[in-house]
Amino acid sequence: MAPPASPASPRQPRRVLHGVLLLDKPLGWTSNDALQKAKGMMRASKAGHTGTLDPLATGLLPLCFGAATKFSQVSLDADKRYIATLQLGGRSSTLDGEGDIVPGTPPAFDRVTLEAVCARFVGPQDQRPPMFSALKKDGRALYEYARAGIDVARDTRRITVHRLDIVSWNDCRLVIDVACSKGTYIRSLAADLGDALGCGAWLQALRRTGTGGLGLDGAVTLDELAALDDPGRLARLLPPDVLLADWPAVTLPDDEAGRFLTGLRRRVALADAPAVRVYAERPRAFLGSAHITGGELIADRLLSPLEVQSTP
Active site residues: 54
CA distance 207 to 83: 5
Q: Check if the beta carbon of residue 65 is closer than 8 Å to that of residue 18.
A: yes
Which residue from 148, 54, 149, 152 is spatially nearest to 97, judged by alpha carbons? 54
* Tally of CB atoms within 10 A around 99: 16
3-state class (DSSP) for residue 245: coil
Q: Report how far residue 264's alpha carbon sits from residue 14's, in angstroms, rounded to the nearest whole number.
A: 34
CB atoms near residue 251 (< 10 Å) = 14
Are 191 and 91 a contacting pair, CB within 8 Å? yes
Question: DSSP string covering 171-221, please?
Answer: TTEEEEEEEE-TT--HHHHHHHHHHHHTS-EEEEEEEEEEETTEESTT-B-
Decide: helix, strand or coil at residue 68: helix
- State the amino acid at position 214 in one-letter form: L
